[in-house]
Amino acid sequence: MNLSIELFGIRFKNPVWVASGTFGYGLEAMEIYDISKLGAVVTKGISLRPREGNEPPRIVETPCGMLNSIGLQNPGVEGFLEKIYPKIKDVDTHFIANIFGETEEEYVEVCKALEEAEKVVAYELNVSCPNVKKGGIAFGHDPVTLGGLVEKVRSSVKKPVLVKLSPNVTDITEFAKVCVDSGADGLVLINTLLGMRINLRRERPDLSTKVGGLSGPAILPIAVRMVWEVYERFGGQVPIIGVGGITTYEDALEHVYAGASAVQIGTANFYDPYAPLKVIEGIERFMKERNFKDFRQLIGRSHRLDIKT
């Protein structure tokens, strides 16, 4: 049974990755399990300069999920290379750097600074963070600007460039199209959805930023729908990485059957750090029980079956 998969010229030992911002750089998880079992680790967003993020409160629970407005706190690309990279460079799995900037040039500079860091095999451009005014969202919500950014980064760096799309748009396939036309090597969907909670004791919004990004089981059906739509339009042309609401292997397989070639586990890491390992085991069990020999048989499978039967 083959769970490994080659995407954009890179072989991943399995299709289960961890999502940006929910796993740090893997350092904490390393203390409780062997993170080389993961297909890949996507880092917390990395910017050109260090950022402190937003004022607290910046996390609040919601029914079946959470709202966050961390604001892309990170040590900057030099801080990452100096303090974090030496601790992850010998881990036997791939790292994907999640990148964001305020300008095209900043995105390019951050990627370029990581070109020689071998352990980082690809870049995931965050054009969709809802929690900072200039966290890429200006790119993610305007197709023309997005196309320009993807083209610029793609033509400036050697490693594969994935684009993480915002779900806070009317038609995500339009944004996917711009990325595909501009040379993106993969599409990652979705980032968090805009949401708000009001704290009745304080009589004001819970989050300091008022609005934050909704994640967790509540968003699974939205993410699966978006993966389905993008696969229907571009299936086979570009790999889709499904993220949003995955806690169990069944959730992960919904993404895969809808069209995802790999999945990322996000919020679930906060309440069950072992969730990604359980998802890997669950997919293996499922494939064995149903006699699937290769994971690729599952990708987009529901599109090939007659819906009525």
Ligand X SMILES: Cc1cc2nc3c(=O)[nH]c(=O)nc-3n(C[C@H](O)[C@H](O)[C@H](O)COP(=O)(O)O)c2cc1C
Annotated active-site positions, please? 129
Nearer to ligand X, 19 or 149 (CB): 19
β-strand partners of 294: 2
Q: Is 261 in the site for ligand X (CB under 6 A)?
A: no
With CB under 6 A as the rule, give the number of residues binding ligand X. 25
**The one-letter amino acid at 241:** I
If DSSP states are collapsed to H, E and C, what string results for 128-161?
A: CCCCCCCCCHHHHCCHHHHHHHHHHHHHHCCCCE
Nearest to 194 by CA among 261, 270, 102, 130: 130
Q: Is 70 in the site for ligand X (CB under 6 A)?
A: yes
Q: How far is CA 248 from CA 101, 217, 268, 298, in A?
A: 33, 10, 9, 16
Other Cβ atoms closer than 10 A to 27: 13
Region binding ligand X by CB under 6 A among candidate stretches 64-72, 108-116, 171-179, 293-301: 64-72
Q: Is 246 in the site for ligand X (CB under 6 A)?
A: yes
Spatial contact of 206 and 60, defined as CB atoms under 8 Å apart: yes
Nearer to ligand X, 186 or 216 (CB): 216
Nearest to 126 by CA among 166, 86, 178: 166
Q: Is 245 in the site for ligand X (CB under 6 A)?
A: yes
Region binding ligand X by CB under 6 A among candidate stretches 14-22, 32-40, 153-161, 290-298: 14-22
- Position among 71, 244, 259, 300 found at the interface with ligand X (CB under 6 A): 244
Residue nearest to ligand X (CB): 21
Nearer to ligand X, 197 or 297 (CB): 197
Nearer to ligand X, 99 or 178 (CB): 99
Q: Is 219 in the site for ligand X (CB under 6 A)?
A: yes
Q: How far apart are CA 123 and CA 152, in angstroms?
A: 13
- Position among 26, 39, 45, 239 found at the interface with ligand X (CB under 6 A): 45
Q: How far apart are CA 164 and CA 128, in angstroms?
A: 7
Residues in contact with ligand X, shown as a per-residue x/- string from 153 to 192 under the rule CB under 6 A: -----------x--------------------------xx
β-strand partners of 98: 124
Binding site for ligand X (CB under 6 A): 19-22, 44-45, 68, 70, 72, 98, 126, 129, 164, 191-192, 215-216, 219, 243-246, 265-267
